[in-house]
Chain A
Amino acid sequence: MEREQEYVLRAAEERNVKLIRLWFTDVLGKLKSVAISPVELETAFVEGVHFDGSAIDGFSRIQESDVMAKPDPSTFEVLPWTEGGTTARMFCDIETPSGRPFDGDPRQVLRRNLLKAQADGQIFQVAPEMEFFYFAEGEPGVSPTPLDSGSYFDLTTSDVASDLRRRTISVLEAMGIPVEYSFHEDSPSQHEIDLRYTDAMSMADQIMTFRLVVRELAMEQGHYASFMPKPLEGLQGSGMHLHLSLFENDTNIFHPDPSTAQGQVGELSPVGRNFMAGLLRHAPEITAVTNQLVNSYKRLVVGYEAPVWVSWARNNRSALIRVPLTKPDKTSSTRIEYRAPDPACNPYLAFSVILAAGRAGIEGNYDLPAETTQNLYELSSEEVAKMGVEPVPRSLAEAIDVMERSELVHEALGEHIFEWFLRNKRNEWESYKSHVSQWELKRYLPNW
C-alpha cells in the first residue's frame, strides 16, 4: 500500500471518521457522491468502488454502464461540517471495470489534457474569480429576492450576506482553499470570492468544493446561494473570470524575457501571445463548454461588463481577454484573464478546452490580432464588424453549432463526452425554444 493511502487510513482512524464521501463530477459539472464507511477504504483504494453509471448524466451508454470509482488519496479532506459524525471526502477518478480511464469522466478528460501539456514541460495554472448570489429563498419558478441591497465594495458590516461570506471564507481556508480577495459585487446580494492560483487539476477540484461549501453554508442559515449565470434581469450576472498562465518548472513562460522586453505594461512573452491568439481564434468553438446553459447567454450581453466580442485588451473590460497590469518584477503574476466562463460550467471540461485552444495557438504559432482599445459596448454591431472583430456566440444554439464543427473541442473532450454533450445541449435548446415565455405573452398577446 502506498504511503499516501496509508496516511488516509490512519487519518480516518485517528479522526474517528464515520463516513467517507467519494466525490466525482458528471458531464454537466454536478457533484456526485458515493458514501463508504472507513472499513471499506482499503478495498476502495485497491479495487475501486463499483457502481452503475447509467444513472449519471453523460456517463454511460446502456451497454457499458459498469464503472469503478478510484479515490485519489491526495484529496482526502475532513469536512468542516458534520453530518451526524465526522465526514471526510476524496475526489475519485472513474475507471472501466478493466482499469482503464473512463471516457465519460470529466476529471479523466482534464488529466489527459494536462498530461499532454506536461509532456511539453507545461504546467497550467488557474485562478478563478467566483461570483454568485445569495437569495432569501430558492424556489424554482419564482424570481428570487436578494438578501441585501448593497453594491460594489460597499462596507456593509452588519448584513447577513456579508457574515455568510466571511464564514464561508473561513471554512474554505480550513479546507485548504486559500482565498485571495472577497467583496460585495455590483448587484444586490452578489458576492465575489477570488481564489489563489494553483494547477488546473487542483483548481477544478477546488471549484467543485467551493460551490458545495457556498451552498451548504447558505442553506445552514436558511438561505440560498446560486451560481446561475444571470438570475436577475437588468442586473449584472455572475461570471467566473479565469486568470491563466503556463509554467515551465518554476518559470512563468507568459512573462516576457527581460532582455528583449519593451518594458511596456501588460506585456507578454511570445508564448503568451501565441496562447492568447489560440484562445481568441477558438473562443467561439469552446463557448458551449465554458457557458453551457441557455441562461449563460443572457449574461453575455452589452452593458454588464460581460464579453460580447472576441477581442483582447490591456485595460478594457469589454474585451473577452484582458491582460491585467502586473508589477514588472513579479514574474509569477504575468497572466491573461479569460472573461467568458460562468460559474455554472464544468470546470474540468472548461479548463480542458481552454488549454487545448491556447496550446493550439502555441503549436500553430498563431499571430495575435491587434489590441482593441475602444470600448466596444459603445459601438454598433456594424462598426465592430468593420473592425474585423467577431461576436461571441449569442445563444446556446449558436454555440453548439460552432462546437459541433470543432476538431479541437472533439479532440480535447474525446468522442464520448463530445457526442453526449452536444446531444444533451441540443435537447436543452429545443426544450427552451418550444417554451412560450411571459415576455412573449405580454408583448404579443394584446397586439396580434
Chain B
Amino acid sequence: MSAASEPSSDMFAVFPAAPPTELVRFLDLGGYKWHGSDQANEIVVQSDETGSDETAEAPPTWAGALVTIDERREEAWRFCRELRKRDAPIEPLLVLLGGDRLDDLQSRADLFDDFIITPFHPQELEARLQHQLLRAGRGVRPELITYGPLTLNVETYQAMFDDRHLDLTFMEYELLRFLASSPGQVFTRETLLSRVWGYEYFGGARTVDVHIRRLRAKMGEEHSSLIATVRGVGYKLGQSRWTAGGEHR
C-alpha cells in the first residue's frame, strides 16, 4: 500500500481494487477519500498492527467500507467477513449488489450495515452512506463544503470566495451552506424557510428572497450568479455534481 493511501479516519475501504466506474465517480465527486483493495488482510492487518505500532498515538482506522458484490461474490463476502471479525469491526459497511443477487443477503445480515441495488442512484447512495455515518456517531459531512470558487468551513463558519472572506450573518451563512450542500438542487421558498429558518420570523416566506438578495449583494457582481432564481419555483446554487457527463446548461 502506498503512503498516499495510509488508512485514516476519513478513508473508505473499497472492494474490489478496481471498483466500478460509477462508484469511483461517486466517491471522487463527493469528496470521499478511498482505497481500493482485493485483499481483506491488506485492510485488516494494517489496522490490527496499530496497537503495537511505535507511531500509533492515534491509531488509524477506516471511515467505513463499500463492497461491490460482483462476479467474484465469494471473495467479496469473504472480504466483508474479514472486516467484521476484528475486535473493532469496520463500520459502516455497505454492500452494492445487483437486483438478481438479493438472495445473497439471506443469512448474511451480520456482514453489512446497509445495502444498495446496482445500478445505484448517486443521491440514494449518498443518503444511505450519510445516514449510516450518522448512526455510527461519525461526522455526517466533510468539514469543508466547496463549490467552484466557494468554500464553506462548517466547523469555523467561515465562507470564502477564492481568498476573499465573505462576511455573512448567521442566517445568510446557514442559507448558503444549505444551498451549497446540494448543488443544482432547486429548493422552494417554503422548503428553505422551514429547513434553514425553522421558525416564524418577521419576514415570513419573503425572508428567503430578502436573504438571497443580501447574499448576492455580498457575493458581488462576479459571483452573484452562482445562486440562480428558478422562476416560479425557488432557488438553486450551481450545477449538480451528478449531472450526466458534466453537461453544462
Contacts and interface: CB of A to CB of B under 8 A. Distances in A.
Interface of A: 3-4, 7-8, 10-11, 14-15, 73-78, 114, 118, 123, 125, 172-179, 196-202, 247-250, 332
Nearest to B216: A178
Contacts of A249: 204-205
Contacts of A123: 202-204, 206
B169 A247 contact: no
Interface in B107-149: none
Interface residues of B, number: 28
B202 A173 contact: no
A215 B200 CA distance: 35
Nearest to A5: B170
Contacts of A201: 202
Interface string B178-210: 000000000001100000000010111111001
A74 B202 contact: no
Contact of A332 (B202, B206, B217): B206
Closest 5 CB pairs of A and B: A250-B205, A173-B217, A176-B214, A78-B167, A199-B203
A29 B170 CA distance: 27
Contacts of B223: none
A4 to B, nearest CB: 5
Contact of B170 (A4, A172, A197, A198): A4
Most buried by A among B167, B189, B207, B213: B167
Nearest to A200: B202
Give the interface centre of B173, B202, B204, B213 by most chain A CB atoms within 10 Å.
Answer: B202
Contacts of A114: 202
B158 interface: yes
B59 to A, nearest CB: 30
A15 B170 contact: no
A176 B216 CA distance: 8
Given A15-B165, A74-B171, A118 B206 contact: no
A15 B167 contact: yes
A177 B214 CA distance: 6
B157 interface: yes
Contacts of A73: 170
A75 B169 CA distance: 7
B156 interface: yes
Contacts of A172: 217
Nearest to A206: B214
A3 B170 contact: yes
A8 B170 CA distance: 7
Nearest to B188: A250
A7 B220 CA distance: 23
B125 to A, nearest CB: 29
A202 B203 contact: yes
Given A77-B167, A178-B213, A10 B202 contact: no
Contacts of A75: 169
B57 to A, nearest CB: 27
A178 B217 contact: yes
Given A177-B217, A178-B213, A178-B217, A250 B170 contact: no
B207 A199 contact: yes
A277 to B, nearest CB: 24
Given A14-B156, A198-B210, A250 B169 contact: no
21 contacts: A3-B170, A7-B173, A10-B157, A11-B157, A11-B167, A73-B170, A74-B171, A76-B169, A78-B167, A114-B202, A118-B200, A123-B202, A176-B169, A176-B172, A197-B210, A199-B206, A199-B210, A201-B202, A247-B204, A248-B204, A249-B204
Contacts of B202: 114, 118, 123, 199-202
B85 interface: no
A3 B214 CA distance: 21
Given A8-B170, A78-B167, A174 B203 contact: no
A207 to B, nearest CB: 15
Contacts of A332: 206
Given A10-B156, A77-B167, A250-B206, 19 more contacts: A3-B170, A4-B170, A7-B173, A10-B157, A78-B167, A123-B202, A174-B167, A174-B218, A176-B169, A176-B214, A178-B214, A178-B216, A179-B217, A196-B210, A198-B203, A199-B203, A199-B204, A248-B204, A249-B204
A308 to B, nearest CB: 34
A236 to B, nearest CB: 29
Contacts of B205: 249-250
Contacts of B213: 178, 196
A7 B204 contact: no
Interface in B151-170: 156-158, 165, 167-170
A74 to B, nearest CB: 6
Given A14-B158, A123-B206, A7 B218 contact: no
Contacts of A78: 167
A387 B158 CA distance: 62
Contacts of B170: 3-4, 7-8, 73-74, 76
Nearest to A111: B202
Contact of B204 (A11, A173, A200, A250): A250
A204 to B, nearest CB: 11
A197 B158 CA distance: 28
Contacts of A178: 213-214, 216-217
Contacts of B220: 173-174
A174 B215 CA distance: 9
B157 A125 contact: no
A42 to B, nearest CB: 16
Given A114-B202, A176-B217, A7 B157 contact: yes
Interface string B69-94: 00000000000000000000000000
